[in-house]
Amino acid sequence: MSTLVVFFSFEGNTKLVGDVIAKTMKADTVELKTSKQYPTEGFGKFFWGGKSVLFGEKPQLINERIDLSKYDTVVIGTPIWAGSFAPPIKSFITQYKMEGKRIALFACHGGGGAKKCFSKLKEAFPENQFIGEIAFVEPKKNSEVSSNEAAKWASEL
């Protein structure tokens, strides 16, 4: 059995960390992509993304269907949006059955919300065993330190 690292990344921070975790764990990776494009600049970036979280949107994923039966461990990564996980993760949660999987969580943020985000994710998978969680503050700004931290965490899972 093996590990899947599944994440959404809007601006590359979660991807940076997710790729290090996957490499360390020799895991497969799926970067969730949506047909809906969020604005990438200015006020609209926070407005539309934040609104999408508050309205509980589940944007359509355009990834190929993931065969979760191959994995016993799933590491889920998200940027923190409006104090929660990003909407594509909500899409993932509703589209996939995670029965029996061990789950680890990682999140990237600009300064706050990780605790709440992790507890919401745990609520979304009440039957699963959680084996670890870690948050990073804007890892792209300090990529070497963040990569080392991510690799250490992943190696101990």
Closest to ligand FMN by CB, 92 vs 102, is: 92
Instruction: In angstroms, give the least distance from the CB of 33 to ligand FMN.
Output: 13
Closest to ligand FMN by CB, 3 vs 88, is: 88
Instruction: In angstroms, give the least distance from the CB of 71 to ligand FMN.
Output: 22
**Interatomic CA distance for residues 135 and 34, integer angstroms:** 23
- Residue 46 is a binding residue for ligand FMN (CB under 6 A): yes
Out of 31, 83, 125, 128, point to the residue binding ligand FMN (CB under 6 A).
83
Strands annotated E in the chain: 2-7, 28-31, 71-81, 84-85, 102-109, 129-137
By CB under 6 A, what part of segment 103-122 binds ligand FMN?
108-113
SS3 123: helix
Nearest to 154 by CA among 21, 13, 4: 21
Closest to ligand FMN by CB, 111 vs 126, is: 111
- Residue 146 is a binding residue for ligand FMN (CB under 6 A): no
- Residue 79 is a binding residue for ligand FMN (CB under 6 A): yes
**Interatomic CA distance for residues 39 and 29, integer angstroms:** 25
- Residue 87 is a binding residue for ligand FMN (CB under 6 A): no
C-beta contacts of 53-56 below 8 A and 24+ residues apart:
53/81, 53/82, 53/84, 53/86, 53/87, 54/82, 56/90
Which amino acid is located at 69 in the chain?
Answer: S
Asked whether the beta carbons of 109 and 77 are under 8 A apart, the reply is no
Instruction: In angstroms, give the least distance from the CB of 143 to ligand FMN.
Output: 12
Residue numbers of the site for ligand FMN (CB under 6 A)?
9-15, 45-46, 49-50, 79-83, 108-113, 138
